[in-house]
Amino acid sequence: MEEALLIERVAAEVWKRLQEGQRKALALFTGGTMGAREGLLALEKLKEQGWYLTVVMTPGAERALGTGRIAGFLAGVPILTEEKGWPPGPLLKEHNLILVPVLTVNSAAKVAAGIADNLLRP
């Protein structure tokens, strides 16, 4: 009986640590505003649940939403732009989840066509 309890506790601790390690999400914002508030509120909830977030904004998103608005909802979350961004490869390797809270039709079409003209479309 003691052995089974020990195994259960070890398994629970391993599961907990695995879950903690998997809570890194990359949030990609394009130049749209429709649904932005809802997307930001959802990201805020994820942050409260222990997710580590990184935001990447296209130039269109910077114009439409502004980094200040994002920072207002997600205090302390790194916000990357083309001007101060990182290469996409390492970003994708560091995060296990990619979220697109606001996606414009233009960006969706460019992704589908393989057009890589900003940090979000390498």
pLDDT, tens digit, 9 for 90 and up, residues 9-31? 887 777 676 566 678 999 999 88
- Is the pLDDT score of 122 beyond 60? no
Percent of the chain's residues with pLDDT above 90:
42
Q: Which domain holds residue 101?
A: 24-113
Q: Which of 98, 91, 121 is nearest to 109 (CA)?
A: 121
Output the CA torsion sign for 48, 120, 106, 96.
Answer: negative
pTM for the model stands at: 0.75
Residue 15 in any domain: the answer is: no
70-78: average pLDDT = 95
Residue 100 in any domain: the answer is: yes
Count of domains observed in the chain: 1
Is the distance from CB of 110 to CB of 118 less than 8 angstroms? no
Q: Which of 26, 17, 16 is nearest to 94 (CA)?
A: 26
What pLDDT, on a 0 to 100 scale, did the predictor assign at position 120? 59
79-108: average pLDDT = 84
Q: Which of 68, 1, 63, 9 is nearest to 40 (CA)?
A: 68
Residue 81 in any domain: the answer is: yes
Residue 12 in any domain: the answer is: no
